[in-house]
Structure 1
């Protein structure tokens, strides 16, 4: 834990948490992956090792060296582990945003900070309980961390410099500069490049052509994009997904967008033709926007008299289908894991219980393990603060609800951790948690999303923490150092996330408003709709015996059974392409649509085909040197350009008005 670690780790944590939270409010968010910090910290660390003087600095009885020697791979891993806490925005920011923007009640900065930190750190205490089963045993492989190990070793191996051969750092700089310069076109001067919908241009006044062809408000037929930010905003980089997974994602999109949605919409299931074909908004039975704020009282609890007046909300067929696909995807993860990995998981769990040490474990024994009481204090302190948040600051979730949420997370940490460690698949608890509390506490919006956040994110954060611990295990990082790096990174990232959110509230008066073209908070709008569906109204009135959408419950059964025929075919034909069909991946990609838009998928798949199939197979030397670096450079250039565009042009209300800045399918007024 050198001075280089502290400077670079904190720097990249602040930068990533600010940039990712800043762009989170956009209709098409941009996420700067930790890969950027992983790549840039390497030359910066080496620069510090050359530039800093070899001098010892004393602070009281404590002293440290400004330059303890060459920049090494263990410092690099710690920097990346710290920054990884900022790679995704804190989930609890959604609660802060919808409470302030949609329910018009500001939670306040300090209570919001406690909410964010406790939701992010409770899982770390749970990770301490599970680490003996999921980290030390050699049977727990964690395939995703092997990719990181490979990249670290590639960066720290001496790169052979040949005449006319570009270094990785030089390539990264060029990619970033080109991405930066180009993004001024789709990001400001010619926004039509984000979604080019050919059918809209061919038949601009035809309703059917616009419904089928609009990339942002329709099904995206013959639509494509020339905007990296648009393409990767929800599906992440196509250069980092194996081609077999990309093929499953695109197959799932084709199945949903071109088969299921048209059949349901044009056959008028649930009176769907009275509503837009693509929207996450909620509507009344008379096809007007659902008046949520009129249905809740000052405590954001359902007013039964008002509910009797308006009835349950209506969803677009696409939005309702997204929930059905989510149900199916959750069930498919269970059955797929049992069928494809059941024996392997059982065998490795038995191996894990035997604690047979491999070379990694024996080498790690040279370091002091993190004491159990560190994890215990982390858990108890955050649980106590979480109870204070729920009971004192108007979150509306009773203390016993919080305990139930945390118990649910604790129950699933080890089973889901084993699945992740073996299969690289991490089933989420978001649907289950909101359904459980929706039945127990119907009519309470904020209580529902808070229970979901503590239940789902506590488990997810534990898995993220454990994954980083496994990386440290492979790279021989002292466990106490990794614990400190992740904890510091999480604390800083939560503070910066929240500060950035409040900054955006003040910078953009109409933030998250549906008429705001850029900053309309597509993620928060879906989270808000979920708070209404599962919280204000409750699952029984939406999906139960009283609900219009009760038929969606059959998707649980369909999803559970769907992997079975493909598993049987893969056993019958083990060398055929059938073995690459992965139902959870196929379903999971379209469960995020909306907020993901149909126009993203086609261009995303084309890029995946070019880089992850053609170049990977026929230009593998180039792919192994530059593929991931190109992805990081594209992200970095877009982020830098996006920040400049906002603060120089958009914040100053300097606009460009010509046909190239009109929205996708501009003549398409009524869907």
Structure 2
């Protein structure tokens, strides 16, 4: 850690402002002693090297300022589980009146709090951030260079093509951002070595083909451009379902103009929304974005020398650099991944418990790990890293709460299924399809008139639609998640939300023409501002109206995409969809950025869209697309802004790079929709190359329930599934239960780490998957976060994220090679190790057979 700068500007929050040390003696490292320092590091949130570095300038953190900073840190982090629990409890003790009035009686506690305050403002309050991000900045380092444009655009377009193409495949094949990050490094180094220093001057700044060594800011900007491009567009869901003949069969959906306008609309609107919320989910230090830390770790590995020794397991010192581990782990996983994915595929779906009694149907319903065939109660279900529900970059508390939710969902799905509630025993356990009363895939064309609207007479002669037990569970917990999310944000995160509003208001006032000067006096909200926020003040901010213009452009394009084509849908659906995002984006963004807890708006958008436009599935689909995708894109783009924030890249440079990458990716995505739909038997179970369109099937299923039939018919007073709406009441109850337990047991670590919304979202996962996808992930997170981080923080900080990204990158590259080199030419190895289990033989058939009369449920003409 670098010592603080001497000048006022760079020292930021460290500068003394009328505080006084008084008579309190400041302990130094010698007085504290090794034993005390070991005690400070015992709880695993700060390394010994970090503490010793801070000791050199501890006097810049006097007592009065320490109290003010610790008070704010405590207030903002009281309910944030990524902040160390032991440190939080010590802050509570420090803020007691007796400690502040008699600090000499608590010299060691005061000393530790000075260190914590100094660490928070000079670096970051969070060890997981300090592990992968440097607190220093070089403002002279070039960022958006010509080579960044070339590499970023080329990689972004290739990634957009691959990910969009294979988005309809199950299992999917995707190129992650880490792949672009990996490949960009040698290309950037090559350009830096061979290109001449030729350039030109524009607006007083020189632009060169070779501005010097390839640096971490350039590398991260390329990564951000790739991240802005790589996500497959949600517009493909509505476009493909509209175009395919067995769904809506609308010829205009195959037109490039229609495809491009709608793809651009959702992408641009999402970016505009991201800018509007950046002061809530990007700039605050508590907005950590845990899912981004692996990307930052890889960037640091390429550009930092970290070959010094760190203590680790087995009483050894480890001196491998991050880069060396990356190359070794990448090579090992690249080779190994060919076994579960090609040579010995039963290693991926290791269904060994089903092999014990393959003909016991009920037993196999519990232990089978095929996603739609069983509950997956298998203690070791896979040897395939790619089959993990999530890698060990999730915080331990998130994984534990998710796991609790998954077990609750297991009980609920089992109860539905084995009691035949809602006739669920006539289907497989967790299928995402809609069924008719014969147990077949629901044929929506049989209940539509010539204008593709609901026809009551046709409906009464065909069948009511039915859902599987897993889908019912999903809807119940989605309803709970929406009400829980707002309750949780109000109860647990009101301090952080109020903080962000105050800062945003102050920044708005400072930017008014009537402001007397550009910088007001220090605000109390800036006391605990971390080093990254202070460094970013040295760069020109993006005006709010730039983002607002983007939001309006997305809105206009969306309205054109609906109104200029024969959709039969009012343009108001676009406006209402974006309003839905605007209402929910801040609580969703805070949950996501603080704890990696994601709540999608898709079910709520379906519910509201179906209520607004009953009987009109397309209107509901458009409302859902703009309501869901604008929110999803906004959170993704906000994550990219956080990457730039952590690596100190100017806001306007990031804005420009993201916009260009997003627009170009939209053209690529729109350009291949028709190619995607050209595969033989595409979107059916017999599709070539497994292009079965799982996302589009789910999208269509939702359209039937929420759009064609409408929520009133399905969930209304006489609807079969009305009791599922109890989920709306359950969500707040779970949150309030957690709050009550915290009041009852304020010093309980377990209760502090209880996250009600994470429990609820964990339960949602048991819908299209089962227990088997989470069990191995949970083991790894227990080892990584529960053991290594707590005992060997320096070792964990150096190696955890880089190992994850090495494995993920190796699998991504191997999967692409395997697809083009083996799947397309239909190369395979025929032996028992690749004789994958037949789902029906191992419990994958429905529990009940269809009655002899050929259907179940009410008689025709008596449907709700």
TM-score (norm 2): 0.71
Of the three residues 468, 478, 488, the one matched with 2:650 is: 478
Of the three residues 269, 274, 281, the one matched with 2:421 is: 269
SS at match of 1:86: helix
Q: Is the 8 A contact 1:218 1:598 kept in 2?
A: no
Counterpart residue number, 1:664: 837
Q: Deviations over 1:373-393 (max 9, x none)?
A: 533442333322212210233
Instruction: Report deviation, 1:571.
Output: 2.8
> Structure 2 matches for 1:184-263, cutoff 5 A?
184-216=338-370, 217-222=373-378, 224-228=380-384, 230-232=386-388, 235=389, 237-257=390-410, 259-263=411-415
Counterpart residue number, 1:494: 666
Q: Deviations over 1:243-287 (max 9, x none)?
A: 221122222222212x21222211121122222223112112333
Counterpart residue number, 2:682: 511
The whole-number CA distance in structure 1 between the counterparts of 2:421 and 2:367 is: 21
Q: Is the 8 A contact 2:165 2:672 kept in 1?
A: yes
Counterpart residue number, 2:430: 278
Q: Answer yes or no: is 1:338 the counterpart of 2:494.
A: no
> Structure 2 matches for 1:360-399, cutoff 5 A?
364=536, 366-399=538-571
Stretches of structure 1 lacking an aligned partner (at least 5 in a row):
none
Q: Check 1:426–1:643 CA distance in 2 against 1; reply closer, same or farther (3 A cut).
A: closer
Counterpart residue number, 2:87: none
The whole-number CA distance in structure 1 between the counterparts of 2:769 and 2:291 is: 27
93-102 vs 201-210, which moves further: 93-102
The whole-number CA distance in structure 1 between the counterparts of 2:535 and 2:322 is: 32
Instruction: Report deviation, 1:82.
Output: 1.3
Q: Is the 8 A contact 2:289 2:594 kept in 1?
A: yes
Q: Check 1:299–1:65 CA distance in 2 against 1; reply closer, same or farther (3 A cut).
A: farther
Counterpart residue number, 1:456: 628
> Structure 2 matches for 1:247-646, cutoff 5 A?
247-257=400-410, 259-355=411-507, 356=523, 364=536, 366-414=538-586, 416-417=588-589, 425=597, 427-506=599-678, 508-516=679-687, 518-573=690-745, 574-646=747-819
Stretches of structure 2 lacking an aligned partner (at least 5 in a row):
1-143, 310-316, 508-522, 847-864
The whole-number CA distance in structure 1 between the counterparts of 2:827 and 2:268 is: 42
Q: Answer yes or no: is 1:650 the counterpart of 2:650.
A: no
The whole-number CA distance in structure 2 between the counterparts of 1:648 and 1:146 is: 31
The whole-number CA distance in structure 2 between the counterparts of 1:204 and 1:421 is: 44
Q: Check 1:449–1:665 CA distance in 2 against 1; reply closer, same or farther (3 A cut).
A: same
Of the three residues 214, 229, 236, the one matched with 1:71 is: 214
Q: Check 1:569–1:341 CA distance in 2 against 1; reply closer, same or farther (3 A cut).
A: same
SS at match of 1:239: coil
Q: Is the 8 A contact 2:298 2:802 kept in 1?
A: no
Q: Is the 8 A contact 1:13 1:493 kept in 2?
A: yes
How many residues end up aligned between the 2 structures?
Answer: 664
Instruction: Report deviation, 1:540.
Output: 1.0
Q: Check 1:634–1:96 CA distance in 2 against 1; reply closer, same or farther (3 A cut).
A: farther
The whole-number CA distance in structure 2 between the counterparts of 1:629 and 1:348 is: 32
Q: CA RMSD in A?
A: 3.2
Q: Is the 8 A contact 2:481 2:757 kept in 1?
A: yes
Q: Check 1:225–1:14 CA distance in 2 against 1; reply closer, same or farther (3 A cut).
A: farther
Q: Check 1:187–1:297 CA distance in 2 against 1; reply closer, same or farther (3 A cut).
A: farther
615-624 vs 320-329, which moves further: 615-624
Q: Is the 8 A contact 1:119 1:458 kept in 2?
A: yes
SS at match of 2:798: helix
Q: Deviations over 1:601-646 (max 9, x none)?
A: 2222222223332333345444322322222222222222222222
Q: Check 1:35–1:462 CA distance in 2 against 1; reply closer, same or farther (3 A cut).
A: same
Highest relative contact order (Cα 8 Å, sep 6+), 1 or 2? Answer: 1
TM-score (norm 1): 0.89
Q: Is the 8 A contact 1:328 1:558 kept in 2?
A: yes
SS at match of 2:677: helix
Q: Check 1:165–1:473 CA distance in 2 against 1; reply closer, same or farther (3 A cut).
A: closer
Instruction: Report deviation, 1:220.
Output: 0.6
Q: Check 1:386–1:479 CA distance in 2 against 1; reply closer, same or farther (3 A cut).
A: same
Instruction: Report deviation, 1:39.
Output: 4.8
Q: Check 1:395–1:35 CA distance in 2 against 1; reply closer, same or farther (3 A cut).
A: farther
> Structure 2 matches for 1:44-59, cutoff 5 A?
44-56=187-199
Q: Is the 8 A contact 1:331 1:559 kept in 2?
A: yes
Instruction: Report deviation, 1:238.
Output: 1.8
Q: Deviations over 1:564-607 (max 9, x none)?
A: 22222223222331221212112213424433344212222222
Q: Check 1:55–1:612 CA distance in 2 against 1; reply closer, same or farther (3 A cut).
A: same
Rg larger in structure: 2
Q: Deviations over 1:505-551 (max 9, x none)?
A: 33x31233234594333333222211211112111111112311000
Counterpart residue number, 2:324: 170
348-357 vs 267-276, which moves further: 348-357
Instruction: Report deviation, 1:218.
Output: 0.8
Counterpart residue number, 1:93: 236
Instruction: Report deviation, 1:200.
Output: 1.7
Instruction: Report deviation, 1:62.
Output: 11
Counterpart residue number, 1:159: 306
